[in-house]
Chain A
């Protein structure tokens, strides 16, 4: 019969034992839905551009989807969109010629130049500051859309389709609709 013998030597004061380190598990990137592939036309369900049909370009490292209207057609710029707020239609176009390699999540990071004078801001009041679109964004938009517009122009009725907004009407049942 064994008994738990206390060790002959033990420290006089309590020794702190460090906590087991909490290992942060690396999260897997969001799985892209089967129905979404580069070139798919998506319907945005929420946010500023709800109801718009846009072209999916690529999935960014954060899991968000990079889309473009194209801007000329429906006013949607190069933008990130969450997969959950999007319906993928079965319409696909060829975006192989579009170069979006340089666009990543850092591209969309907020600019840190909010160091305006506090007093000036205080007296300026609560008027919404007009959105300043950087020239870089405009240039990138033009570059991406140039290719997209050519592809879209070649397909019959596609430009009108992208310009039209999606809306449910009286008889529509989303659970029966084929997108």
Chain B
């Protein structure tokens, strides 16, 4: 039998939080812009539509907390994507990491 890989598998794609959907002087906090790693065009972004997104933070006692969201639509033509979360992302999360899961899958 082949050796079993005991490491936890990575079944998500990393993304960066770019900020909120905004015009120059007004912003909509309920929609966040996410840059998914490796996703650089409109066609690439279509794969991720509807996928669940997790914004993970650590609580004071060391446990993990997740703010779930989903990719709702494309944003522009370079692979950036708009996401809505259960609770709006906090402004201090801008620039930080988000996990884009591979489910609900359509493959």
Which residues of A come within 8 Å of B, CB atoms?
33, 35, 45-46, 50-51, 83-88, 159-160, 163-169, 172-176, 179
Contacts and interface: CB of A to CB of B under 8 A. Distances in A.
A167 B9 contact: yes
Of listed A45, A176, A179, residue having the most chain B CB within 10 A:
A45
14 contacts: A45-B102, A45-B105, A51-B9, A85-B103, A86-B105, A87-B102, A160-B2, A163-B1, A167-B5, A168-B9, A168-B11, A172-B38, A173-B13, A175-B39
B105 A164 contact: no
Query: 8 tightest CB-CB pairs across the interface, nearest first?
Result: A51-B9, A175-B47, A167-B9, A84-B104, A173-B38, A160-B2, A168-B10, A45-B103
B107 A164 contact: no
Contact of A175 (B4, B12, B48): B48
A174 B103 contact: no
Contacts, number: 68
A46 B9 contact: no
Contacts of B13: 168, 173-174
What is the size category of the interface that chain B forms with chain A? 20 to 34
Given A85-B103, A173-B13, 11 more contacts: A45-B102, A83-B105, A84-B104, A163-B1, A163-B2, A164-B5, A167-B5, A168-B10, A169-B10, A172-B38, A174-B102
A33 B44 CA distance: 21
B44 A175 contact: yes
A169 B1 CA distance: 23
A50 B9 contact: yes
Nearest to B50: A84
Of listed B2, B7, B103, residue having the most chain A CB within 10 A:
B103
Contacts of B12: 168
B9 A165 contact: yes
A73 to B, nearest CB: 8
Contact of A46 (B1, B46, B103, B106): B103
B101 interface: yes
